[in-house]
Amino acid sequence: METELDLALWLDKSILIRQNQLRADFLDLFEQVGNSFPNEELTTFFRNSKGKKISKGNQLHGFPYLVLDLIRDFNLDSGCNIRLVSWFGHGLFCCAYFGKNRNHDPNPFLEGGFQLGRGDKPWDLKLQLEVLEATRTTPKIDSKSKLWIKQIALPTTKQQSLQILNEEVKNILKVKLN
């Protein structure tokens, strides 16, 4: 069976130009969010903070993505991380991870529209989105469930988007950790 090549799509530069511009816009947005939170503030919240980092790629289950990690301690037992993910074709997500030995008040997350993800696989975004789709009820909070995730609807302006993302991070940084 012979398949045809979609040469019209292949030669359509406007699609790539729009995608690259949007990726640059999200990169700029994530840089501004990261710059809004000095390393000293992150260390005050979580003393083992390793700062901020933006990662990007083209193949998160076939789609481009950008990730902003704040704090960056990925230890499953004692770590902490705040993650913003722009995943083309899926949306923008805010995640807060606390290692299973880290206690925190869940109420700010519940009140802020977050849902519990799978704490045993916190960095598997596709799995977390499947969990979000499957659970729309108030979660049972246990020692293994310490990943909070929320999809964020953004306005079309970068300034308003920056304001929303900064507020999400500020609200997480207000949570008391034990």
pLDDT at residue 115 is higher than 70 = yes
Task: Report the alpha-carbon distance of residue 31 to residue 154 in Å, rounded.
Answer: 17
**Whole-angstrom distance, CA of residue 80 vs CA of residue 74:** 6
Confidence class for position 144, pLDDT limits 50, 70, 90: low
What phi and psi values does residue 146 have, to the nearest 5 degrees?
-130, 25
At 22-64, the pLDDT tens digits run 999 999 999 999 999 999 999 999 999 999 999 998 888 889 9
Token pair of 21 as six digits = 């511009």
Which pTM does this prediction carry? 0.89
User: Other C-beta atoms within 10 Å of 140: how many?
Assistant: 7
- What residue spans define the domains of the chain? 12-173
Q: Closest Cα to residue 128, out of 105, 94, 165, 103?
A: 94
